[in-house]
Structure 1
């Protein structure tokens, strides 16, 4: 994750997401920064991903749930970028994740 309206992203320890897909079904997990552990599941249709997510916050152990829709883009370097619109705590939010290049 490189940016989020929900929280300040720690550039040295951002949330890291792992995405998997089979036949248009998406699932994965994430951890880091303000999140102890998170999971998501959803679908992909062309360049749009829709997911439901749940995660546990580091700060107080509270559980957060929601839905999000990401648009898949490409960076100038050819990496995937996900721009996600979602709702959290009853307010619209936006986050951006960029693919980590293979080592």
Structure 2
């Protein structure tokens, strides 16, 4: 992966998560915006009604703080995450994200669509 990521305008779909089962027919999708090292975006789908994130690009890592409302009960989940970027053989970017919810560590994987 290049030392500086450029994710502006890209969309990623969640393919797996240890925090919840991913609906492969309607996965959570993430839309990225970027200005220099600043990164922000929104996400929705599957277990999330609406979510937002903001953070920074640091080399091949994406570091963000996030908040989203759950479909199940409307409660708001907040946290911090660090994703490492890997390039697939077909050129797409895969983000492997480490995050914690309620003190429990999780990993999710998102793939550029």
TM-score (ref. length: structure 1): 0.96
Aligned pair 1:88/2:101, yes or no? yes
Aligned pair 1:37/2:50, yes or no? yes
Q: Secondary structure at the match of 2:25?
A: coil
Cα displacement string for residues 50-74 of structure 1 (whole angstroms, at most 9, x for unaligned residues): 0000000000000000000000111
Which structure 1 residue ranges, 5 or more long, are not aligned? none
TM-score (ref. length: structure 2): 0.87
For residue 61 of structure 2, the aligned residue among 34, 40, 48 is: 48
1:45 to partner: Cα distance: 1.0
Aligned to 2:15: 2
Aligned pair 1:15/2:8, yes or no? no
Matched positions, count: 100
The CA distance in 2 between the partners of 1:7 and 1:23, in whole Å, is 32
1:36 to partner: Cα distance: 0.2
CA RMSD of aligned residues (A): 0.5
1:20 to partner: Cα distance: 1.1
Q: Which has the higher contact order (CA 8 A, sep 6+)?
A: 2
Aligned pair 1:71/2:71, yes or no? no
1:76 to partner: Cα distance: 1.2
